[in-house]
Amino acid sequence: MVLVALVAAGLVRGVGVQTFSIPSASMTPTLAPGDRVVALRAAALLDTVERGDVVVFDGRGSFIGSLPPDMFAQLGAWFGIGPRDVYYVKRVIGIGGDTVQCCDDAGRLLVNDRPIDEPYLAEPSRAASGTEFAVEVPPDRFWMMGDNRYDSTDSRALLGRPGGGMIREERIIGTVTGVE
């Protein structure tokens, strides 16, 4: 019975939901430090992550300078086993095929040459980014940004690194569906 319960619990975490703690102010006002978020894995598993989604992803090999996790570490991550300080929560701004750039004359981000509405920004009166950039998001990659743009380490910080700040699709753990 205990073994069946452990396997069932592992499957819920591995393919269902998992909780994560928010350690920084990079996603305020949407998420505050100390909030616990629930991430639904279905969107990542079914490749249905969309522009505007808030997602949890494994930062190894991109946001963290280490190599991406091997097969066993990746499997452990899906089941909540392993280090907890490798996960990031950010908003998907660009998906494969998009061009994302900062900024138009009004300080708004442009996605595919169109300004996007961002009511979730921490400082809506400021430009959407203090860093100018223009990127094309490759297939199976995502451009991520925090909602608190002036206090967020996100894809902009990785522009000069291999991968150019893009997060691989397989690094996505799940879509944030709620706060506990």
Q: What is the three-state SS of 29-41?
A: CCCCCCCEEEEEC
Quick one: pLDDT at residue 18?
83
Residue pair 56/87 in contact (Cβ under 8 Å)? The answer is yes
Q: Token pair 């569906």 is at which residue?
A: 177
Domains and CATH numbers, the chain: 2-179 (2.10.109.10)
Residue 157: partners with Cβ closer than 8 Å, 6 or more residues away: 63, 165
Is 129 an annotated catalytic residue? Answer: no
Nearest Cα neighbor of 16 from 106, 83, 78 is: 78
Nearest Cα neighbor of 131 from 143, 119, 140 is: 143
Catalytic residue from among 21, 24, 26, 125:
26
- Judged on CB neighbours under 10 Å (0-12, 13-18, 19+), 99 is middle
Task: Work out the pLDDT band at 94, boundaries 50, 70, 90.
Answer: very high
More confident residue, 160 or 43: 160
Quick one: pLDDT at residue 2?
58
- The pTM assigned to this predicted structure is 0.81
Query: Degrees (nearest 5) of the Cα angle 67, 72, 75?
Result: 105
Is 26 an annotated catalytic residue? Answer: yes
Q: Token pair 């900062």 is at which residue?
A: 102
Burial 81-92, CB ≥16 within 10 A → b, else e: ebeeebbbbbbb
Catalytic residue from among 62, 90, 129, 152:
90
Task: Work out the pLDDT band at 48, boundaries 50, 70, 90.
Answer: confident
By percentage, how much of the chain surpasses pLDDT 70?
75
